[in-house]
Structure 1
Amino acid sequence: MTRSNDYLFDWIRPLAKTLKILRLVFTGLGVVLIAVGQVWMDYDKSWQADWSNLIFWMGVLAVCFTGVLLVFFERDSVSVLLDLKGSEELVVQQQDYISYLSKRESILLTWQTVTKLLSELLDQALTEPEISREKQEMMMLSTVEILADYKLTLLQIADEYCNISIYEYRDDENLLVCVACYRSRPSDAREKHRKWKVGEGHVGKAFELQRELICGDASAPDVKPWISASPENFDENDDVRYVSLAALPIAVSAEEPIGVLIVTSSEAMRFANSGEDHGDEDEQEARRLAAAALQDFAAQIAQIMSVCTSRAVEPSEESADER
């Protein structure tokens, strides 16, 4: 399809040729007239002497006209090079912006996809009149697997060590207990998980404060003591595995959290809050979008957990049904 500015260029191309011809004609004519005027000034014939000045100045005007054409329609090589450099910089900026828009679109589409999958999981829970403990565990495991499937696109977490866990608050124990877990090393997910007191570690802190904790580098001196595990829960691998983290309360009502969603990476700066300024603006925006998406997912997980709890079947009832 022909663009509108193609018509302009079709008009400019013949004009450029015309200007070149005019420069050649007026330059040649000006030189000839100046030479003729100077020669005629020395002639004895009166009519030649009378016309010599006019011819001379006509030649000067022709040369000046050529100079005007050069000033307004001909560019020097330095100006051309400077403009080319400016154009290259503009192209690079546009390419960066296109790359940012593409990355942003990818994150938003992934956000939408995960939201849809979690909604389907919620619909599945709503269709169940009774939900056994085993069924609850399967739903929570499906939830972390959904997040794990899209961790690269959404969170930029690739081959590094990643942990995605859902913790549920148990009133009878007054502890936060892991009910579903994904880890980059599958054998780690099958190990016995730690239980956290309210206010202990990043899990307990997020639950206690009833707000998300987003940390780009948990090893920072001003952060590490605040979210470190107690001596009985301490693991020597924590400093290596959990470098950047997001801990988000799971709550239907903001004042009454029922658990915590945890996503961690062994690489720094996978997550960012509004005050984080590491990296360029595009990277910061991508991390902020990821954090916002996780908040949305935590709200959906809260709905799933709430439905599962309200329709839970006690173990004794399950045993009776089996008999």
Structure 2
Amino acid sequence: MKDTKAVKAENDSNRRIETDVFHAGIVAANTWITLVAPILIGFFITRLFDKDKFTISENTIFAVSIVLHVFFTITIYKASTRRSLSLEVDGLVEEIEHLQGTIIPRAAQLYDTSKVQQTVIYLMTLELENMIDELNEKAKLSTEEENIKRWDEGLNKILAPLVKYRHELFGYEGQDLYNICLYVYDIPNDNLIIKWRRFDDRLQPSNRSWKPGAGHVGLTFILNELKICHDIYDSTELSNSALGPNDKAKYRSFLSVPVKDSSKVLTGGKPLGVLVFTSSARGQFSPDRDKLFALTAAKLVSIYVEKCLKSFVS
């Protein structure tokens, strides 16, 4: 298959040839209709009233003139109704270039990301199943300290694929500072505290807690819905005092997902916590690409947290 540049060049060449031939035909037709035909008509009308009969040569000229006149009349008619495909070809070439330059690469990137998302969800699910089996076997026979340690280990195993495949999942580049953490709701203190966190070693996080409704973590928690911010500097939902200038540069865009309490482990219908992804780059996260994946990952986390809480309570 020829590339678009070759097609466009060939189309331009054909269009020039087509235009030259068309112009030559129109000039010939107009010359015949306006100059030659009137002279011949006058000649044959004059001969018609002569007493002498038409010679064989005159009859031949007359017949040829009729044929040429009909031909040139048709040519002029076709010219008046002519429709060139050159513009359509140019439009198709531009559309193909747009597809090849923008649409197809983006579709390929989304396809590759989708495959990685499926892989990560599969790995998280495997770890979840293993940890639940382990909880079922050992939770009742273990001490509280052992259970808490097992809970921490389980979270690390389940969430580890998010860190390992962060570049493929979210498009982090070398200069981007990533941060992935899980906040859980501390009922007695009415706070969202960090239970698990992995971040770029160039960051120096404060590991602060958030009140429900404060910052993007608290806002996601209290609204119980996924939040994506492409640029915190342009955010209309977050107060200017929620983060300092340095923090805004480090956590410029974010994706926050509530870890919902579907089994009603906690009272009041509040989420169990919030799963958070942040980046120092603007526009790191995309609803079309990330929403379903993030909700699925948060659901797997919620299943594990619910199971842990139920096991520890029982």
Taking structure 2 as the reference length, the TM-score comes to 0.68
Provide runs of 4+ in structure 1 moved above 4 Å: 40-45, 62-72
1:227-282 deviation per Cα after TM superposition (whole angstroms, max 9, x unaligned): 715xxxxx6631111111122111232823111101111112223xxxxxxxxxxx
In 1, Cα distance between the equivalents of 2:88 and 2:222?
59
Q: Which amino acid aligns with 2:172?
A: I
RMSD between superposed Cα atoms in Å: 3.8
Question: Mean alpha-carbon deviation: is it higher for 40-49 or for 293-302?
Answer: 40-49
Q: CA deviation at 1:184?
A: 1.7
Q: CA deviation at 1:136?
A: 1.6
Residue in 1 aligned with 2:6?
Answer: none
In 2, Cα distance between the equivalents of 1:226 and 1:292?
29
Q: What does residue range 135-154 of structure 1 map to in structure 2 within 5 Å?
A: 135-154=150-169
Residue in 1 aligned with 2:66?
Answer: 57
Of 163, 166, 173, which residue of structure 2 is paired with 1:158?
A: 173
Closer, same or farther in 2 for the Cα pair 1:227/1:115, shift >3 Å?
farther
Q: Which amino acid aligns with 2:123?
A: L
Q: What does residue range 179-258 of structure 1 map to in structure 2 within 5 Å?
A: 179-185=195-201, 188=204, 193-220=207-234, 222-225=236-239, 228=242, 237-253=246-262, 255-258=269-272
Q: Is the 8 A contact 2:181 2:276 kept in 1?
A: yes
Q: Is the 8 A contact 2:257 2:295 kept in 1?
A: yes
1:270 aligns with 2:280: no
Q: Which amino acid aligns with 1:205?
A: L
In 2, Cα distance between the equivalents of 1:238 and 1:257?
25
Q: Is the 8 A contact 1:144 1:165 kept in 2?
A: no
1:119 aligns with 2:128: no
Unaligned 5+ residue runs, structure 2?
Answer: 1-20, 140-146
Taking structure 1 as the reference length, the TM-score comes to 0.66
Q: CA deviation at 1:221?
A: 6.1
Q: Which amino acid aligns with 2:284?
A: R
SS in 2 for 1:252: coil
Closer, same or farther in 2 for the Cα pair 1:256/1:59, shift >3 Å?
closer
In 1, Cα distance between the equivalents of 2:237 and 2:304?
32
Residue in 2 aligned with 1:92?
Answer: 97
Q: CA deviation at 1:62?
A: 4.2
Closer, same or farther in 2 for the Cα pair 1:66/1:163, shift >3 Å?
same
In 1, Cα distance between the equivalents of 2:77 and 2:151?
84
Closer, same or farther in 2 for the Cα pair 1:252/1:118, shift >3 Å?
farther
In 2, Cα distance between the equivalents of 1:265 and 1:187?
11
Q: What does residue range 281-296 of structure 1 map to in structure 2 within 5 Å?
A: 286-296=286-296
Unaligned 5+ residue runs, structure 1?
Answer: 1-19, 230-234, 272-285, 315-323
Residue in 1 aligned with 2:305?
Answer: 305
In 2, Cα distance between the equivalents of 1:125 and 1:227?
40
Q: Is the 8 A contact 1:157 1:270 kept in 2?
A: yes
Q: CA deviation at 1:302?
A: 0.4
Q: Is the 8 A contact 2:177 2:202 kept in 1?
A: no
In 2, Cα distance between the equivalents of 1:294 and 1:155?
11
Identity, in percent, stands at 21
Q: Is the 8 A contact 1:155 1:287 kept in 2?
A: no
Q: Is the 8 A contact 1:244 1:270 kept in 2?
A: yes
In 2, Cα distance between the equivalents of 1:309 and 1:184?
30
SS in 1 for 2:283: coil
SS in 2 for 1:198: coil
1:164-185 deviation per Cα after TM superposition (whole angstroms, max 9, x unaligned): 0011223344332212111122
